[in-house]
Structure 1
Amino acid sequence: MENNQTVFDHKAFLANVTHQSGVYRMYDEQQQVIYVGKAKDLNKRLASYFRRDVPSVKTRALVQQIRAIDVTITHTEGEALILENNYIKKYQPKYNILLRDDKSYPYIVITAHRHPKLGAHRGGKRVKGEYFGPFPSAGAVWDSLRLMQKLFPIRQCEDSYYRARSRPCLQYQLKRCSAPCVDKISEQDYQQQVHLARLFLQGKNEQVISTLVESMERASDKLAFEQAARYRDQIATLRKVQEKQFVSGTTAELDVIGFARIKNQACLHILFIRDRMVLGSKSFYPLIPSASSDEEIVSAFVTQHYLGEDVNQGNIAKEIILPCAIDNSVQLQHLLSKQVGYEVKIASNVRSERKRYLTLANTNADNALQVKNSHKESMQARFRELNNEFELNKPIERIECFDISHTMGQQTVASCVVFNPDGPLKSDYRRYNVHGITPGDDYAAMSFALNKRYGKVKDDDKLPDIVFIDGGKGQLARAEQFFADLDLPHSPLLIGVAKGESRKPGLETLIMAGSHQLINLPATSPALHLVQHIRDESHRFAIAGHRAKRAKAAKKSTLEDIPGIGAKKRQALLKYLGGLQEVKNASVDQLMQVPGISQQLAKTIRDFFN
């Protein structure tokens, strides 16, 4: 790679560049990757950037910032496409079109246990089993699981609960589980139900019904009328489900990508069609450089969304419909087919049913972009209104709000939420586990949170314009004292948000730092609505953290805090002595009778509880 220099000597560089295919990376003065591209002929492609008559504004701006370029040669164009995709995901260059979607799709999984479990899953596929999906949201997964619980009596409980059963649980009484944990169903019958659930998740409803009909007839021939009645009820429930389902058309498996664009904003909306039904949909909002064409955006999206080792193979349909033609569609078809092990077709010029799907996807993309912009414009209007209320010299770019949550002083958690003119900036949200203070001291907890957030801040860009403190004059005064003791380039505007009478929304009082002047905005004020939104979000974020911490503490055994007591010894103590209370009251001699507990360890346990 070339050394950092004021002006990039492209002529000297191009004199030594190969004519083979490969991938190139361009760097700026800070040695940051600003663009990644691929080429069939690296020399010709890179030379095209430095012509005098480059028409693209984006390319000219890019060339002005280039200080170094390095290249990686590949054997084929397909390899170059894969490597380019990997580099874009790794470096996130600002001049590339970037797909920023960090959320993984939720799936339904049938585990590979002796008695398989039916459950929801999100993230890496570490659990052995079969995965079905993707589903557009977690809600869709849970709705499907609730439905399947009525159709197929397969366990949905956690493994720890399943192993600990000695008698059937309530789900068995409700006929939503066949209780394989206590052998209330034979292995063969349970595996048959698992097989039927698998077929149902694959969309093969008619095959499920046919199998159930055959099983009902066999049970009836054997005079097993109770079992035949169960099959009959399953068939009836499935028939009702079929009546409620919307059969979209005749095409079995499609991903239809809609596209909409407003200036430098774009939305791509995918319709997931599996087994002739619209399974769900999802919108994506890629970050695009100016002067990018629609074809470039669609091409970059398809490549990043479908190609690579980090992509769940079950996401890829056998046919992908695009809103416009892209140059590398043939290469992508070949690479995707090779990646998933079956033929994948990419098409754009479609007719009939596929065209109706594409129109629907485009309409959804346009609507999603309009809604997003509407929300953004509303948020920006609220920021302007808040700026006018406080008569600030410059526009508000960043607001942070702090809140404290605890239960009678225990498991105290502080939250910090961040808003900018586009809305909540969730990537900058932070929670702080408060410790080292007197339980229930909200003032000390606020100081702890502020110190965690601003105690080591030196960069002026990281400071907000406004800091809201959820609380009255006491919390605000503590925040004022904290910032007064800090040596910051500039202190943010501090405002306390006190709840109004009866804690009703619209009656909040704002308390200005310094003068402690009280400001009561009208209940219809957009500025007050913004303050309420920020305050409620900080409250929600703090409570969620506190509840998670409290739930974790509730599951934790006191014995875990004793040095030298591991999981096996805890289990032995509880089993041998009969419970935690008996362990607390046991003498040293009684503790020594527990297998694995020495005299020294028995004294340690006794001293811990006394």
Structure 2
Amino acid sequence: MAKNESASSAASTPSAIQNESASSSSSATAAIKEQIRQLPHRPGVYKYFGDEDTIIYVGKAIDLRKRVSSYFTKQDHNKKTQQLVKNIRRIEFTIVDSESDAFLLENNLIKQHQPKYNILLKDGKTYPYLLLTNERFPRLIPTRTKRPGDGHYYGPYANVTGMNLLLELIRALYPLRTCTYNLSEANIAAGKFKVCLEYHIGNCKGPCEGHQDEETYNQYIQQIRQILNGDLRLPKQYFRDRMAQAAQEQQYELAHQFKVKLDKLDEFQSKSTIVNANLTNIDVFAIASNEKSAFISYLKVMNGSIVLTQSVEVQKKLDEPDDEILAPLVMQMREEFESESKEILTNVALPPLPLPGVTVAQPQIGDKRKLLELSLKNVLYLRKEKESMNDRSKDLNEVRIMETIKKDLRLTELPKHIECFDNSNFQGDNPVAAMVCFRNARPSKKDYRHYHIKTVIGPNDFDSMYEVVTRRYRRLTDEGASLPQLVIVDGGKGQLGMAVKAIKDLGLWGQMAVIGIAKRLEEIYVPNDPLPLYIDKKSESLRLFQRMRDEAHRFGITFHRDRRDAGTLKTELTDVKGLGPVTADKLLTKFKSVKKIRELTEAELVAEVGKAKARILIEYFAKTNSAEV
């Protein structure tokens, strides 16, 4: 199958490549790059080794050199792939004959080594089977252990309830023995056994004492095999014929018994999903994914009926595309559920699979398309359910955080609406403020606000805090909007005092709680208490306060920087006597900086602003240049 060209010594052949830079996260060292250039342009499998020489990733490639080098040359990898590359210490490869050989070898290596960065369906479940024993007068028993030679196993069954319903149906239709006696002809003839309670209540015909012949019993077994294979035609015809015969012979009670059994088969069939009797054995796989997980649905169709359904979720490791996720799982689930179907239907195109005689298709119309849509409906439902569960989990997490804040601050109501203020200025210039809003412990960015400080001259954080808090809550009051349950100010007792004064002056005192958070020791200050409140550093309350404080600081600094930069650029030109703001904006828009404008020739300036203004600028630049000298 594969020609293995990997070597036992990493130093003796290019097929084992040593990574000489443990700290490289986005590109390989020059030595590694040179070794990668020696890789062949042939299909194969590559293995990445991490610390302690353990395999952390196995991949396949149509072109080994192109695929492996892409990890070290591309700059747009996601964080997970960047982390993988950072941890690579050594690389080995194996050349194979074809893409399907590479797929098979990759699949086997992943199962064997279970690398950290490979997706693998690690279910850990042992699914049950129904065993039809190979004894004389066979028994039908459920089991989770397969032992060769015991008989024929049917399954495995992903749904234990479904398997038990099938077993219950068969036992209701056919009087099978449940004892473990060795019912050889000699033992029965010698009278070694006696009938049990099962015989007396009608569940067994007593073959242990010779009350039932082997030929009749084996007729039952033949029909049971048909039912276990998903084909009810033979057993239904058998009971239909026996019912008609009994009625003809005026054995109406017996005819009724056969009718009851026929009704049980019809009822069982009505609970099964019948797709099309002309569709024999087909495997149907559908996949849908989100950023974190992939969801796969598997339907096993036999004799026109869906006999098995299974849906699974796998965690993505490297943001793999759907086809790369589904292909190995198709192999694994077919093996796990012992499928011998010669046709596979999927909703994504798959690479060549090492399955001789098996076709893979993406049907667009007809009954096969309906089957695929049914599988896709299952997988989309699973994804929606999981995402809904995650949302509910987040909601519960957020409620817990708000409950913790309420308890830590002794609030009278749950703080569903919290606002945090921060001031920003540079040596007193361009003072601004920012307010960020969290609702249900999540950022509500549509409610974020920037503020130009209008009434305060110079660097005065206290008065600036008074101004923005006043403006914010006067605006909410005028608009009839709801007030927050908690207000946080970035600062200690001084900033807190001014925020409290603003709220009192608005007549809103008592309608919302106010606290200050000081940076140095992460102290929490509350009104009318000179001593700070120390919340546990690991508390979810403090973590949320810190997050809000940092978010307000980021939001304010960005606004302040933009305003300061704009002011710096425009001030120098607009201060030039005879040059207006329109001309200054025109030049700055085109040339981006005053430095570039200084470098223009007189002719270039004349072309942009005319002779008069060009002359003014040249004289201004000459004067400022001489002043700087």
TM-score grouping bracket, smaller chain normalisation = 0.5 to 0.7
SS at match of 2:274: coil
Alignment of 1:251-270 (within 5 A): 251-270=279-298
Aligned residues: 379
Q: CA deviation at 1:16?
A: 4.4
What amino acid maps onto 2:195 in structure 1?
A: P
Work out whether residues 133 and 315 of structure 1, in 8 Å CA contact, stay in contact via their aligned partners in 2.
Answer: no
Work out whether residues 18 and 91 of structure 2, in 8 Å CA contact, stay in contact via their aligned partners in 1.
Answer: no
Output one character per residue of 1:217-266: Cα deviation in whole Å (capped at 9) or x when no partner.
89999999999987676556445544555533342332222322232122
Whether 2:218 is the aligned partner of 1:196: answer no
RMSD of aligned residue pairs (Cα, Å): 3.8
Determine the C-alpha separation between the residues in 2 that align with 1:125 and 1:386: 51
Work out whether residues 4 and 29 of structure 1, in 8 Å CA contact, stay in contact via their aligned partners in 2.
Answer: no
Q: CA deviation at 1:24?
A: 1.1
2:388 matched to which residue of 1? Answer: 374
Change (3 A) 1:194 1:139: same
Alignment of 1:173-322 (within 5 A): 173-211=200-238, 234-235=261-262, 237-239=264-266, 241-242=268-269, 245-250=272-277, 251-306=279-334, 311-312=335-336, 314-322=338-346
Determine the C-alpha separation between the residues in 1 that align with 2:152 and 2:227: 13
1:96 matched to which residue of 2? Answer: 118
Alignment of 1:73-152 (within 5 A): 73-126=95-148, 128-152=150-174
SS at match of 1:336: coil
Work out whether residues 46 and 92 of structure 2, in 8 Å CA contact, stay in contact via their aligned partners in 1.
Answer: yes
2:558 matched to which residue of 1? Answer: none
Whether 2:375 is the aligned partner of 1:356: answer no
2:49 matched to which residue of 1? Answer: 27
Change (3 A) 1:293 1:241: closer
Change (3 A) 1:168 1:225: farther
Determine the C-alpha separation between the residues in 2 that align with 1:245 and 1:60: 48
Q: CA deviation at 1:69?
A: 0.6
Work out whether residues 100 and 287 of structure 1, in 8 Å CA contact, stay in contact via their aligned partners in 2.
Answer: no
Output one character per residue of 1:297-340: Cα deviation in whole Å (capped at 9) or x when no partner.
2234324433xxxx2473343322111112x1xx31xx223xxx
Determine the C-alpha separation between the residues in 2 that align with 1:165 and 1:369: 59
Determine the C-alpha separation between the residues in 1 that align with 2:149 and 2:60: 37
Determine the C-alpha separation between the residues in 1 that align with 2:375 and 2:269: 24
Determine the C-alpha separation between the residues in 2 that align with 1:349 and 1:323: 8
TM-score when scaled to structure 2? Answer: 0.53
**Which of 1 and 2 has greater Rg?**
2
Determine the C-alpha separation between the residues in 2 that align with 1:125 and 1:380: 46
SS at match of 1:315: coil
Output one character per residue of 1:48-67: Cα deviation in whole Å (capped at 9) or x when no partner.
33325566665444323211
Output one character per residue of 1:458-507: Cα deviation in whole Å (capped at 9) or x when no partner.
xxxxxxxxxxxxxxxxxxxxxxxxxxxxxxxxxxxxxxxxxxxxxxxxxx
Alignment of 1:328-347 (within 5 A): 328=351, 331-332=352-353, 335-337=354-356, 343-347=357-361
2:566 matched to which residue of 1? Answer: none
Determine the C-alpha separation between the residues in 1 that align with 2:121 and 2:256: 52
Give structure 2 stretches of 5+ with no counterpart.
Answer: 1-9, 11-16, 23-27, 409-629
Q: CA deviation at 1:22?
A: 2.3
Determine the C-alpha separation between the residues in 2 that align with 1:166 and 1:377: 62
Q: CA deviation at 1:38?
A: 1.5
Output one character per residue of 1:19-44: Cα deviation in whole Å (capped at 9) or x when no partner.
44321110123423221112233334
1:46 matched to which residue of 2? Answer: 68
Alignment of 1:493-532 (within 5 A): none
2:93 matched to which residue of 1? Answer: 71
Determine the C-alpha separation between the residues in 2 that align with 1:296 and 1:79: 15
Work out whether residues 217 and 228 of structure 1, in 8 Å CA contact, stay in contact via their aligned partners in 2.
Answer: yes
Determine the C-alpha separation between the residues in 2 that align with 1:245 and 1:79: 38
Determine the C-alpha separation between the residues in 2 that align with 1:64 and 1:187: 69
Determine the C-alpha separation between the residues in 1 that align with 2:270 and 2:91: 60
Change (3 A) 1:178 1:3: farther
Identity %: 28
